[in-house]
Chains A and B, each alone.
Chain A
């Protein structure tokens, strides 16, 4: 979809709180409950958006880049959901942009996390599973 080669890498948490990050989140509701979260640096969100629209990265606004991250999170969620092996629905995507934030769903714990390098930038996909009430 994006046309940029990806390589798997170790997952890590951004160490620089000054860097702007963007997270796209889609909640999964049904037999399996949780969320799929895509995290990337603002630089990568801008670069990918520019590539997909065929424009300069400097012309990419926050609104357009967040829309791109939302759609990518939506697509990733659509691909991951069947792997969870249950009948569930997914929500509209939500996007968070800022510095030094943490994002989770209530009672969510990391179920799986994968890190990737894309065009010398890091991004990750995290599956958050919502714990059952009696867990």
Chain B
């Protein structure tokens, strides 16, 4: 399985990469903001999961999610918003725009396992 991690924080990318490696994702690609993520998706569309931060320089998470969901060739890719934004109104806005789920930072491996299950990717943590 392949994952795209989009976050401007090197620490956040490191922690998410460590989790994804641990549960068995075979390829993890990193981007520091939305435009870079879209360039990654232009060259390779075969991702199972995108983990997207909300507040980033350049293109922010919500714009990125909107752009991804406008491209129906990426419909099978799950999007998990990984964010410090916890305002329920804002979170609902992100879910309406096309995020499949969200998890608040700081998140533990158990929190992420739970999200993998809710996204239908639970088989990877059972193996």
Binding site for B on A (CB under 8 A): 1, 49, 52-53, 64, 67-68, 70-71, 74-75, 77-79, 81-82, 87, 90-92
Contact = CB atoms under 8 A, between A and B. Distances in A.
Contacts of B11: 49, 52-53, 64, 67-68, 71
Contact of A53 (B14, B87, B89): B14
Contacts of B15: 52
Interface of B: 8-12, 14-15, 55-57, 83-87, 89, 104-106
19 contacts: A52-B15, A53-B14, A64-B10, A67-B11, A68-B11, A71-B11, A74-B84, A75-B84, A75-B106, A78-B85, A78-B105, A81-B87, A82-B87, A87-B89, A90-B55, A90-B85, A91-B55, A92-B55, A92-B56
Contacts of B89: 87
B9 A74 contact: yes
For the complex of A and B, the 6 pairs showing the least CB-CB separation, nearest first, are: A78-B84, A1-B106, A71-B9, A71-B11, A67-B10, A68-B11
B57 A77 contact: no
Given A68-B11, A82-B86, 15 more contacts: A1-B106, A52-B15, A64-B10, A64-B11, A70-B9, A71-B9, A71-B12, A74-B55, A74-B105, A75-B84, A78-B104, A78-B105, A87-B87, A90-B55, A90-B85
A78 B106 CA distance: 9
Contacts of A78: 83-86, 104-105
Dominant secondary structure of chain A at its interface with chain B: helix
A25 B56 CA distance: 15
A75 B105 CA distance: 6
B41 to A, nearest CB: 23
B87 to A, nearest CB: 6
A42 to B, nearest CB: 17
Nearest to A82: B86
A92 B87 contact: no
Contacts of B8: 92
Nearest to B9: A71
